[in-house]
Amino acid sequence: MLLLFILSISPFNEANFVALPYRSVSVLSNPAGIGKSPGAEAFLAYRSDSVTCGITIGNIGGGFLRVDSNMIYEISTGFKLPGVFSIGYARQFGDSSENIFGLECDMSQYFVLGYKTTLGRKKYMNAGAGLMMLGSALIVTGEMNYEGIDDYNDYRFGFLFAPTKGVTLNFVSDLDWHWHSGVVLAGPRIKLAFLYSHKVANKFSVGLLLSAQSYQ
């Protein structure tokens, strides 16, 4: 599961960090994001060796991830609690079968926390934070990933920067500088995403997101 996550870095950078996902990009990322911002939305991300898609309708989501010959399907749901917390649950099945709990916490308009873990057995966990600056035009974020079977830690960091309306530049890397950089172009209800990945064989990813909610 950790290997599939690392190999499937999304051109929608919010999906790469456990504290940031919302609506459809929460599928296969952190189901709590569905509860944070429920709505009708769908996305598709493609790279020559992987395909990811997700859809949300209200507080329900679903999708799948294919990396080479590995397939994972997910059904998920999320809810906003009174106060600052949103929670979510996902059932994954296919080549990996897991029950997943997700949590997002909006501490303030400038600082968010995220957490995701498998249930039933201590196998996999994400914990991270995001810091909003320049009126939320810049989001700096990072997280720790823990895989319990081999007692393995992995760290990821990055940012999203919106220099002008409808354009977001993004960057994500691990500590070994396996980095990914891209751009998202947004219209009122559509986003196009492009990502370049360093130190991988298949370097280019594209994504399309359609939403019933306006982004502008």
Give the domains, in start order, of the chain with CATH numbers: 2-211 (2.40.160.60)
Q: How many CA atoms lie within 13 A of 111 on its CB side?
A: 2
Phi, psi dihedral angles at 20 (to 5 degrees): -110, -20
Identify the pLDDT of residue 128: 96
**Chain segment 96-135, per-residue pLDDT in tens:** 788 999 999 999 999 999 999 999 776 788 999 999 999 8
Give the separation between CA 176 and CA 155, rounded to whole angstroms.
Answer: 9
pTM: 0.90
Identify the pLDDT of residue 11: 95
CA-based R_g, the chain, Å: 16
Identify the pLDDT of residue 166: 93
